[in-house]
Amino acid sequence: MDTRFLARFGRTPADALARLEAELDAFEAQARRLEAQGRWTQAPASGGWSPAQIAEHVLKVNVGCSKAVHLLRSGRDLPPLPRVPGSYQDGRRQSPPAMLPGDGQPWASLEAAWQQARTRLHAAVQAEGPWPDDRCIFHPFLEDLNALQWLQMAAYHTAHHRGQLPAD
């Protein structure tokens, strides 16, 4: 799979983290506006997830990305991990079951976990050690990603789903 598009989200760990921070800040600001407007749990008429469900999904993915970055940078032996390709429905990527959101929670219920995921991503990036290109973990749609690519993926994924939030 061609992952060169991920470089748009930062060519270095510091740049990718800065991009991710900007995307998370923008997502959070939009989440607060939508909740204040009473639109937080409203799913689109065409179906799909509510903003609350999108936020929960992004949170779950970012936790997974932080774990991948940490593990890849740790130097520890990689455990045998499944290589399960992602599925598509009507040409759209489908979330792996573990990343599916629940019914939608108030932002206040997600905020502590959201901040904890940010902290975990920061810690994984700022830890001492190399950023090896040859240590990879399988992604269901992008295949083998190294630590920098997992960080870029978190920024890309957050930006993608922020674009699905209703505009003001």
Over the chain, what is the mean pLDDT? 94
Per residue in 10-61, pLDDT (tens digit) is 999 999 999 999 999 999 999 999 999 999 999 887 889 999 999 999 999 9
Class of the domain covering 4-40+49-76+93-162: mainly alpha
Beta strands in the chain (DSSP E): 88-89, 92-93, 137-139, 143-145
State how far Cα 159 lies from the chain centre.
9
Q: Where are the domains of the chain?
A: 4-40+49-76+93-162
- Tokens describing residue 49: 């997830």
pLDDT at 148: 98
- CA dist 28 and 25 (Å) reads 5
What's the mean pLDDT in 146-156? 97
pLDDT at 45: 77
- Tokens describing residue 8: 């748009």
- Do 18 and 10 touch, CB atoms closer than 8 A? yes
pLDDT at 44: 85
Residue 144: pLDDT band (50, 70, 90) is very high
1 pLDDT more than 80: no
How far CA 29 is from CA of 33, 54, 79, 95, in Å, comes to 6, 14, 37, 24
119 pLDDT more than 90: yes
- CA dist 14 and 11 (Å) reads 8
